[in-house]
Chains A and B, each alone.
Chain A
Amino acid sequence: EAGVAQSPRYKIIEKRQSVAFWCNPISGHATLYWYQQILGQGPKLLIQFQNNGVVDDSQLPKDRFSAERLKGVDSTLKIQPAKLEDSAVYLCASSPSGGRRDTQYFGPGTRLTVL
């Protein structure tokens, strides 16, 4: 069974530019998550989708971050415009049903550097 796929693996941009990340979850998984992991910290949830609907986006900085999950499968996360403090690893995860104690399976992440 293929795991969670993410691209690109690395991205370097200058501040005020825009960037987009892509995630393809495990086939059949209804729930998709985007996390931000700043160096030296644990991941922090940005947004959670159940199929193609948003379940939780309370920690998403909506003035610059947006995400969508069209057709309930792939998802993209966009930052526009980027700030220096957005430098982090962006992790995508999926789980079968999004149940309260459902195991989440993570992709390899995208390491973003904002100069």
Chain B
Amino acid sequence: AQKITQTQPGMFVQEKEAVTLDCTYDTSDQSYGLFWYKQPSSGEMIFLIYQGSYDEQNATEGRYSLNFQKARKSANLVISASQLGDSAMYFCATQAGDNDMRFGAGTRLTVKP
């Protein structure tokens, strides 16, 4: 079974600084996908970035990058140059085999001006 762990319930970062949100996962499948979603207070889950288990390079999307360490089963999200609008809940998720997508408990990020 898949399991996602996000150990940071809450994080604070100063505006314009970078922040890393941690995610570790547990799966016995060799082929899987890793996702990060952002959930603002409005409630909608917004897709940020995707990493495939066989992708050799770390994924990047604008200010978002994924620090993928396969041997450690970790997929940390790095947000560079934080903005006030980045304040939200962030969820890590994985999909492996024929299993459904599993989400972690989330990390609440607060960007301070």
Contacts and interface: CB of A to CB of B under 8 A. Distances in A.
Are these two chains actual partners, yes or no? yes
A50 to B, nearest CB: 13
Interface residues of A, number: 22
A109 to B, nearest CB: 4
Nearest to B108: A40
Contacts of B78: none
Main secondary structure of the interface of A (DSSP, over half): loop
Q: How large is the interface on B (under 10, 10 to 19, 20 to 34, 35 or more residues)?
A: 20 to 34
Interface stretch (B14-22, B67-75, B79-87, B96-104): B96-104
A44 B31 CA distance: 21
A109 B91 contact: no
Contact of B43 (A89, A100, A103): A89
A72 interface: no
Interface in B10-59: 31-33, 35, 37, 42-47, 50, 52
27 contacts: A40-B105, A41-B106, A42-B4, A42-B102, A42-B104, A43-B103, A45-B100, A48-B100, A56-B100, A89-B43, A93-B45, A100-B31, A100-B97, A100-B98, A101-B32, A101-B33, A101-B50, A101-B52, A103-B35, A103-B47, A104-B47, A105-B47, A106-B44, A106-B45, A109-B43, A109-B44, A111-B43
